[in-house]
Amino acid sequence: MPNQAKEKFKVYKNVFDNFTLRNLFKLSGQGYFDELTSPISIGKEANIFSAKTKDNSVVIIKIYRLENCNFNKMYDYIKLDPRFPGMKRQRRKIIFSWVQREYRNLLKAREVIDVPVPMAFSNNIIVMEFIGNKEKKEVAPRLKDKIPKKPEDFFMKTADSVAKLYKAGLVHADLSQFNILNYNEKPVFIDFSQATTTDNIESEQLLKRDIKIICNFFEKYKVKSNPEEMVEKMLKSK
């Protein structure tokens, strides 16, 4: 590792394990980002940072924490995903497959709805598009933190995105006000690690759960809906 790169990354040594540092350096060396700038979200299983690129643009870096991830829970989800047959209950293999799964889900989802564009992944790290004010480097707020000016319009756009996603063969499976950004009064879905294909035997139940959670949230803002009717319409359109 060149001295300049060592200097750049030594600040992270007390934050990340050596394996993660090597992956960060690899992705940085491939030109996806220059250096991490600030934390956006520090979670039990993953940390999300903004990162500066060489042309002074900004991207998002999502880093799964190898020792903190609930790989048993991950395994329970991924073992039912037909894209990952014969998955063994091995911590690192499950976490790396989980990251690959999120990357693939984002690639598929971006064909039909607004999501952060995935750029690259390496083991426990994903690089993706920054959603927000790129000049000010301000990330778009989550729906829970910024209620739309027109809740009913936003709800309709959200429901339409769920329907388009399902028709394309994908269910988010963890949709809520925490995993939708309010970007210029338009919904952008994030956190696709739990998303699964409609071939999954539990996909219909997961769709029902997503719809119910979203309907319940918007009901607080006087948006009327019929979750059962919405689900039935989506199932018929598949």
pLDDT given at position 67:
84
Does the predicted TM-score (pTM) go above 0.85?
Answer: yes
Same domain, 14 and 107: yes
Burial class (CB in 10 A: 0-12, 13-18, 19+), 213: middle
Same domain, 134 and 155: no
Q: Where is the domain boundary, 103, 138, 173?
A: 138
**DSSP letter assigned to residue 168:** T
pLDDT given at position 3:
47
Same domain, 172 and 123: no
* Mean pLDDT for all residues in the chain: 91
Phi, psi of 4 (to 5 degrees): -65, -40
pLDDT given at position 12:
61
Q: Is residue 59 part of a domain?
A: yes
Q: 3-class SS at 230?
A: helix
Q: Which residues are known to be catalytic? A: 174, 191
Residue carrying structure tokens 């209950």:
89
pLDDT given at position 43:
83
Low-confidence ranges of the chain (pLDDT < 50): 1-4
pLDDT given at position 181:
98
Q: Is residue 86 part of a domain?
A: yes
Q: Is residue 2 part of a domain?
A: no
Domain housing 25: 9-138
Same domain, 171 and 144: yes
Which helix (H) or strand (E) is 218 found in, with range?
A: helix 203-219
Burial class (CB in 10 A: 0-12, 13-18, 19+), 54: exposed
CATH of the domain at 174: 1.10.510.10
Residue carrying structure tokens 């990357």:
103
Total domain count, the chain? 2
Q: Where is the domain boundary, 115, 138, 161?
A: 138
For 113-131, b/e burial (b = at least 16 CB within 10 A) is bbbbebbbbbbbbbbbbbb
Locate 11 and state its tokens: 């600040």
Chain CA centroid to CA 228, Å: 26
pLDDT given at position 11:
53
pLDDT given at position 216:
98
